[in-house]
Amino acid sequence: MSHDAEYNKQKIDSKLIGGTITESFIASDGENFFGFRVTNKGKKYNVWIDSDEEGNECGSVTIEVVKN
């Protein structure tokens, strides 16, 4: 497994595993991005399903901490 893949796996494991998906959403800026919110251990995370560089397919995820 590559270092980047291991890093991303650990990031996902530490924030999302065991959490609950509480809603899904679409970007409000007109971009064709969508995502979902996960609540885990009292913290909330927005998980964006990002498009690849050409903008034609899903390519990766971005995890944002939701500030209250």
Structural domains of the chain, count: 1
Model confidence over 9-65: pLDDT tens digits?
A: 888 899 999 999 999 998 888 666 789 999 999 999 999 887 766 666 656 788 899
pLDDT score recorded for residue 18: 95
Distance CA 39, CA 62 (A): 15
pLDDT at 68 over 60: yes
pLDDT score recorded for residue 1: 56
Contact, 36 vs 24, CB < 8 A?
Answer: yes
Name the one residue in this structure whose structure tokens are 């980047």: 4
Which residue range is the domain that position 42 belongs to? 3-65
- Domain holding 57: CATH number? 3.10.450
pTM exceeds cut of 0.85? no
Distance CA 7, CA 19 (A): 19
Which residues are within 8 A (CB) of 61 and not within 5 positions of it... i.e. 6 or more apart?
12, 47, 48, 49, 50
Count of CB atoms situated within 10 Å of the CB of 61: 15
